[in-house]
């Protein structure tokens, strides 16, 4: 009965379900690697959007950072850091600025 339930549920599911139930170890490893790569790409997109919003916040332009959020705290920290060292605004310092803002 459990096997039938799994199979019935799996009819409308993605490839992930097939790999979960019947995949070889190589298929599972490949699937996990693909998922990790997709997550890394999404995280990079999120960081890029946040960085753009931080730059807008620092410049006094409209931005997508909500008041009272952790992100706003990071943006305020980034603004203080840039006031101390404007070189942090350079694109090559993007990761440094975000990392420092998130640590404080």
> Would you write out the chain's pLDDT as a tens digit for each of its 104 residues?
777 777 777 676 778 888 888 899 999 999 999 999 999 999 999 999 999 999 999 999 999 999 999 999 999 999 999 999 999 999 999 999 999 999 97
CA angle 61-73-79, nearest 5°? 50
In sequence order, the 6+-apart residues with CB closer than 8 A to the CB of 55 are 89
Neighbours of 30 (CB within 10 A): 13
């Amino acid at each position: 009965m459990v096997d039938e339930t799994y199979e019935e549920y799996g009819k409308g599911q993605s490839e992930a379900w097939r790999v979960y139930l019947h995949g070889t170890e190589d298929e599972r490893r490949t699937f996990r690697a693909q998922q990790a790569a997709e997550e890394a790409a999404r995280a990079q997109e999120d960081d890029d959007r946040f960085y753009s919003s931080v730059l807008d916040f620092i410049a006094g332009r409209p931005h997508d950072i909500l008041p009272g959020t952790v992100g706003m705290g990071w943006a305020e920290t980034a603004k203080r850091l840039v006031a101390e060292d404007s070189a942090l605004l350079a694109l090559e310092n993007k990761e440094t600025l975000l990392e420092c803002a998130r640590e404080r």
